[in-house]
Amino acid sequence: MTLMIERLSLHADGVAHGPEGTVHVAMALPGEEVTGVIENGRIAAPKIVTPSADRVSAPCPHYRACGGCVMQHASEPFTARWKAEVVRNALASRNIEAPEISVSTSPLHSRRRATLAGRRTKKGTLVGFHARASDTLVEVPGCLILRPELMAAIPILHEATTIGASRKGEVAFSVTLSQGGIDLAAIGGKDSDPAQFEALADLARQYDVARLTWNDEVVAARHPATQRFGVAQVAPPPGAFLQATEHGEAALVGFVREALVGASKVADLFAGCGTFSLPLAEQADVHAVENASAMIEALDQGWRQAKGLHRVTSEVRDLFRRPLLSDEIDRYDGVVIDPPRAGAEAQVEQICASRVKRVVHVSCNPVTFARETAALTAAGFTLEKTLVVDQFRFSAHVEVAAYFSR
């Protein structure tokens, strides 16, 4: 049976109507005719009978095996249109018409942080990304996504796997490019004994790793693992959240700063280590709120060492359990909110009840973003501008920033 792909799912699978209901088709595009074996409502290895004009040859030889990318078969214009459409459809499901949506796409070889897995084998070690829906590891020499500096660090991960991985376990390596070099945080390896600790410390010396952390224990800190946020230098804690590319961060920061020009006091909620707080402090007083004390400490230290910034205050607070209340928000004339995928329903409720007139919402989940947009618009806010930032090239991940005023 030939199936017609009607649309893409949120995970970028093609969606078709089959003999027994909806069928998800891997690596398919809308308008394509496909055939293949249907198992559990899915065609994992389709044959494309009639290809879309938006289909391109995947540029990476690892694409069919590696699970790091899901959209290399789609043209770049199609991917940009689709990611904007995901946001537009999410808003439409709440009866909200989106204004024009701009898209900013990070270039190839720009990812400055990634999580790779390492595993010991009978012949040595494997380091790479997981295959699609599998625990199989796929090595990715010549990866098109990662910064060259991260690719150059893969031999370090092989050696660290040899030193610290158990026979049957797997080590997750969070690798980040900092201004001081490679910042490596490993989780899941054997607990470090003195011999292993010394071997890992030698590895850090050999490769001049800026910082190496093993199961949350700092093994080596040879150089400050700093990031630049505006004019400030910040040393995030190991494995801390960081925007995936410098390009994506610049696009988001530029959007936030432009939206809040003229605001004199800004609250930055879910502030992390200061991605938005510290650049905003070049134009306004900022109050940064974050649940992780180590992140707030790094933010505060970065502000104190920088020159020429407005006042930045900070607060460790769980905004899910104890959101900033409406009367507290009334102290500010602008709010930035950048919650995790679950969104921040309780915090948005307090923003709606406040008197604040300008809000910038940054979200990595169009579904929760649409839910919170509905709450804001019901409270009198207007959705003025929307930006989609694609810093996870070839993935189904959609990040959106929006400016609201009332």
Residues with active-site annotation: 364
CA 305, CA 199: separation in Å to the nearest integer? 34
| Contact between 162 and 125 (Cβ < 8 Å) | yes
Q: How far apart are CA 58 and CA 60, in angstroms?
A: 6
Using CA atoms, how far residue 356 sits from 21, 137, 269, 274, 325, in Å, is 47, 49, 14, 22, 12
- Tell me the sheet residues that pair with 269: 289, 337
Contact assessment for residue 209 and residue 185, using Cβ atoms and an 8 Å cutoff: no
Nearest to 280, CA basis, from 353, 362, 399: 362
Q: Write the DSSP string, 166-187.
A: -SS--EEEEEEEETTEEEEEEE
Cβ atoms within 10 Å, residue 346: 13
User: Could you give the CA distance from residue 42 to residue 246 in angstroms, rounded to a whole number?
Assistant: 36
